[in-house]
Amino acid sequence: PINLPLDDQVKRLYDGVLVDCNLICARAYGADRVEDVIGRKLTDLFGTIPKSLDKLFRDMIEGGYHIVDGVGIEKLPNGEERYFLNNGHSVIENHKLVRVWGTFRDITDRKKTEEKFKKSEKKLKESEEKFRNITEQSLMGICIAQDNQIKYINKVYADIFGYSDEEMRKWEIQDALKAIHPDDREFAIEQLTKKQKGEKDVVTHYQYRGIKKSGEIIWLDQFSKTIIFDEKPADFIMLIDITQRKNIEKKLHDERDLIYALLDNHPDFIYFKDSRARFQHISKRFCDFFGRKMEEIIGKTDLELFPEELAKQTHAEDLDIIQTGMPLINKEETTGDTWVLTTKMPWLNKKGNIKGLFGISRDITEFKKVEQNLKESVEKFRTITEQSFLGIAIMQDNIIKYLNNQLANIFGYTVEEIMNWEVGGFLNVIHPEDREMVANQARKKQLGESDSLDQYQFRGIKKNGDAIWLEIYSKSINYNGKPADFATIHDITDGKIFEQKLLESEEKYRSLFDNSPVGIGLSTIEGKAIDSNDALVELTGYSVEDLNKIGTPSIYVDPNVRSKILKALQEEGKLHDYEVELRRKDNSEFFGSVSFDLIELGGKKIIQTSLRDITKSKNAEQELIKLNKLKSELLRRTSHELKTPLVSIKGFSDLLLELHREKLDDYIASTLNEIRSGCLRLETLISDILKTAELESGTIKAKKTKEDLTFLIKLCVDELKGLSALRNQTIHLEIKEPLFTQIEKEEIHQVISNILSNAIKYTPPFGFIEIKSVIQNGSIIVSIKDNGMGFTEEEKDRIFKPFGKIERYGQGMDIVSEGSGLGLYISKQIIELHNGKIWVESQGRNKGSTFYISLPII
C-alpha cells in the first residue's frame, strides 16, 4: 500500500524481489548469470542493508514512485562500494505498488572520473565512450537534443518509434516533431527549447502521445533534464513506451465510468454492501428515493438508516445472504405507498469468496396499480356478466371459452356441462333449420371478418327438448391475443309468443275500442284527430270530422292546457288521470279525467286519449272539502273551548301542589300529580289538534328564511341529549356543514325534534341513533336511523295519518309510549308545506327504522 508511513515503504522496497533483469544488471550484483539473481531480495543481493540507498528510496517515494538520475551507493558482498545512477518507474493499481522497473548505471567510474575531471578535461572526454556503452544497454530510449538537432540517440529510442537509429540520427529537430501528436506538439517544443537554453522553469517529467512510423499513436513517459554537452546546454531525454499501461488505465476508467453512469442513471435502486452489510456503493435513484445524501448512507447498515421494524427484517436478510450465499430473488415488499421488487445476490471477490452483497430494487408501484386495476376489471366483468339478465359467452376456435350462469340457464344446462363440450359442441343446441346459418356467423366472428351480422334471431333447443327463440348481439374481440366472438343472447320466446298473440288481438282490440264505455281517441301531436269511439263522441258531442274542423284544442276551457299536456308527454311519454274542464259541442262544460299516452302507430308518434266524465265525483269532492273545512273549524273551536276549563284545572292543581303541599296527604298529592300530568297530555293533544286544523285549512303559508339546517339539527340533539343520556343511548352525527336552505325555522325544529324524540323513546336503553345528511338531485336529505322497535308494512302506511299512533305498550321492551298520534301527521304536513318529502324505511319488527326528510336546496 502506498499510504503506509514513509519508513515502512522504504523497508518494503528493500524487501522487494527481483523479477527480471539483463545480464549487465546481474553482473552488477556479482553474478555471472541472470538466473542467479532472479527471485532474490535486494537485501540478499547486497548481503546487508546499504543505508546509502535510504535517500534514493525516499526521493523515489516522494516523487510518486518515479525517479530520474537518482544516485545510490550500494555495498556489494565483497565489501566494495559502487555508485549507481538510477531511473525508476512504478506500476500502481488500486493504491498499491505492484512493481518497479527501471535502469541503473554503474557510475562509480564516472564518479571517480568526475573527481579527476576537475584535474583533467581529457579524462572527462574519455568517459563519453563509457556513456555510450551505458545508454546502449539501457531499457529506456535516450536522446540528447541541442541547437534543434539530435546529437545522440540510442537504439531503444529509435525502436519505440519504429525507425532505425540510423534514420533518426539524420533527423533535424523539425523532423523529430512529426513523431509527436499534433495536440501535444506545442508543449513539447516549448519544453525542448527551454531545456536547450538551460532555463530553470521547465517540466522534467511529463507524458505525451507519439506517432510511430506506421502511423500508430502511442503513449510515452518522458524524463528530461538540462545537461552540459560539448560545453553548451542540451536536453537529455529518457523515454518509456507506456501505451499498454495507458490502455489498461483507459479500460479501467471506462469500466469505472460505466459503473458510475449506471449507478447515476439507472431507474432501479442499486446498492453494494460489505461483509457486515454496510453500504459501499449506491445509485443516485436510491439516494433520491430515501431523501438522503450519499455520504449519509455509505458505511452504514439498514439498522442505522431505516425504521426499526423494517430494518431488522432487511438486515437479517442481508446477513443470511452473506453467510449462506443463497440469493433472494424477486421479493415483493412495500415501503409506505411504494411497492418494490427486490433481488439480492452475493458479491464475490476475484477468488470467488463472498465479500458482501449487491441488490437491485425496482419500483413496481405502477405495475401493482395496473395489476390491481386489471384484477378489479376482471372482477367487475364477472360481476356484471353474472348479474346480467342476458346470456353472455366468449367463443374462440369453435370452443366456448367463457359463459355466465344466465346463458347456461337459458339452455337448461349447468356451466360445467357446457364448458366440457367438444369443439363445435355448441351447434347441438341450435335448431337444425338454423344450424348452418349460426355456424357460418360464428366462424366469421371468430375470424374477425367484416361481413358478419352483429344481430340476428334464431331458434335454440333446450336440454329438455323445448324449442326457444333467441336473439343474439355479437362482435369480434381480441381474447388472449386472438380474434374471438363476444356474444350476448336474449331469450325472446315470450316476445315471439306475444307478437303472435298481438296479431291475434288486433281484432279484439278494435272491438274493445269501439265498445268501451270510456271515451277513446287517437290524434297526431299537431292536434289532428285520427279516430274516436262512440263513447268519446257521446261525451263531447264531437265527431272526428267536427274536431278536425275546429281543432282539438277548442274542447279545453283553458286554452293553455294543451301546451302543458304536450310538454308532459315529451318529458315522460304519458300523463294519466289529468283532471281538466272541457267544453261539449253544445257549449256545456264538464269535468273530465283524461289519460294521455304517446304511442307508436305505423312508425309515427300518436297520442292516445282516454276520457271519463268525473263531474259527479268532482262535485262530491268539492262537498267533501267543505265538510273537511267544517270539521277542521269544529275541531279548532272545540279545542279552544276545551282550553278554558283545562287551564283552570291545571292552574288549581299547580296551586294546591305548590302552596298547600304540606297540608295534603300522599294519596291526594299523588292524585293531583296525576291530574296535572293528564292536563299536560291533554294540553299537548289540544295543541296538536289545533295545529292539524290549521294545516288542513289550507290557509297557512310557510314564512321561509335562509337558515343553516346543520345548526338546527345540532340544536335539537343538544335539547334532547339529557333524555338520551337517561337511557344510555349513543347519538352519532355525520352531517355536512353548513346546509343552507329556505325554511320556517320553528316549524322544521318541531319536525326534527319530534322524529328524534320518537327515536329516543322507541329505542331501548344502550341503543344507537345515527343522523346523516347527503346532497342529492338538488335536495338536502337528512336521515335519522335507530336500532329500535321498527315497523311492519301496515304500520308504515299508518304512521303519517291522523291519530296513526302505533301502540308499543306491553311488548316486553323498556320504551316510553305516549303521545297524541298526530306528531308525524303534523310533521308530514309541515315538510310538504316546504315542498319537501318525509318517509320511513324499516326491515320489520325489532329491526330498527330510518326516517328521511328531503328539503330543496336554496
The upper half-sphere exposure of residue 408, i.e. CA atoms within 13 Å in the direction of its Cβ, equals 16
CATH number of 619-695: 1.10.287
Helix (H) or strand (E) holding 621: helix 615-659
pLDDT < 50 positions in the chain: 124, 812
Give tens-digit pLDDT for 699-746: 677 788 999 999 999 999 999 998 899 999 999 999 988 899 999 898
Show the cell assigned to 587.
257549449
Cβ neighbours of residue 204 closer than 8 Å, sequence gap 6 or more: 68, 223, 224, 225
Task: State the pLDDT at residue 124.
Answer: 47
Task: State the pLDDT at residue 265.
Answer: 67
Angle CA 736–755–833, to nearest 5: 80
Cα(539)–Cα(519) distance, integer angstroms = 7
Show the cell assigned to 612.
271519463
The upper half-sphere exposure of residue 212, i.e. CA atoms within 13 Å in the direction of its Cβ, equals 12
**Cis link prior to 738 (omega < 30° from 0)?**
yes
Helix (H) or strand (E) holding 758: helix 745-761
The DSSP symbol for 556 reads B
Q: State how far the alpha carbon of 34 is from the alpha carbons of 80, 102, 136, in Å.
A: 21, 16, 19
Cα(338)–Cα(364) distance, integer angstroms = 8
Cα(685)–Cα(680) distance, integer angstroms = 9
Cβ neighbours of residue 368 closer than 8 Å, sequence gap 6 or more: 339
Cα(342)–Cα(363) distance, integer angstroms = 9
- Domain map (residue ranges) of the chain: 6-106, 266-363, 372-496, 516-613, 619-695, 701-856
Task: State the pLDDT at residue 381.
Answer: 67
Cα(399)–Cα(421) distance, integer angstroms = 8
Cell 331469450 sits on residue: 491
In a 10 Å sphere around its CB, with 0-12 CB exposed, 13-18 middle and 19+ buried, how is residue 649 labelled?
A: middle
Cα(510)–Cα(40) distance, integer angstroms = 130
Bridge partner residues of 141 (DSSP): 239
Q: State how far the alpha carbon of 202 is from the alpha carbons of 188, 197, 223, 626, in Å.
A: 11, 11, 11, 129
Give tens-digit pLDDT for 376-430: 666 766 766 776 778 888 888 888 888 888 888 889 999 899 888 888 888 888 9
Show the cell assigned to 524.
297526431
Cα(201)–Cα(750) distance, integer angstroms = 107
Cβ–Cβ contacts within 10 Å for residue 282, how many? 20
Q: Under CATH, which architecture does the 516-613 domain have?
A: 2-Layer Sandwich (3.30)
Show the cell assigned to 770.
345515527
Strands (E), 96-214: 96-106, 141-146, 149-153, 205-211
Cα(450)–Cα(475) distance, integer angstroms = 10
Q: Where are the alpha helices (DSSP H) in 266-398?
A: 284-290, 294-297, 308-324, 365-387
Q: Select from 704, 705, 848, 858 the least CA-distant residue to 786.
A: 848
Of the options 3.40.50.300, 3.40.190.80, 3.30.450.20, 3.40.190.10, the CATH number for the domain spanning 372-496: 3.30.450.20
Region at 424 (left for phi over 0; alpha for psi -120 to 50; beta for the rest) = left
Cell 507519439 sits on residue: 210
Three-class secondary structure assignment of 373-432: HHHHHHHHHHHHHHHCCCEEEEEECCEEEEECHHHHHHHCCCHHHHHCCCCCHHHHHECH
Task: State the pLDDT at residue 773.
Answer: 93
- Helix and strand numbers, DSSP H then E, in the chain: 28, 30
Bridge partner residues of 89 (DSSP): 66, 101
Helix (H) or strand (E) holding 440: helix 432-447
Task: State the pLDDT at residue 786.
Answer: 94
Show the cell assigned to 392.
353472455
Length of the chain in residues, anyone?
858
The DSSP line for 785-835 is EESSS---HHHHHHTTSTT-PPP-TTSSS-------S-HHHHHHHHHHHTT
Helix (H) or strand (E) holding 724: helix 709-726
Q: State how far the alpha carbon of 95 is from the alpha carbons of 4, 92, 244, 770, in Å.
A: 11, 6, 19, 76
Cα(792)–Cα(811) distance, integer angstroms = 15
Let me know if the fold of 266-363 is the same as that of 701-856. Answer: no
Amino acid letter, residue 770: E
CATH 3.40.50.620 fits 266-363, yes or no: no
C-alpha dihedral (25, 29, 30, 33), degrees to nearest 10: -40
Cα(349)–Cα(495) distance, integer angstroms = 81
CATH class of 6-106: alpha beta
Cα(819)–Cα(762) distance, integer angstroms = 12
CB 586 within 8 A of CB 539: no
Q: Select from 52, 24, 26, 238 the least CA-distant residue to 130.
A: 24
Task: State the pLDDT at residue 641.
Answer: 58
SS3 of residue 563 by DSSP: helix
CB 68 within 8 A of CB 238: yes
Task: State the pLDDT at residue 219.
Answer: 93
Q: Select from 18, 14, 11 the least CA-distant residue to 40.
A: 18
CATH topology for the 701-856 domain: Heat Shock Protein 90 (3.30.565)
Task: State the pLDDT at residue 320.
Answer: 93
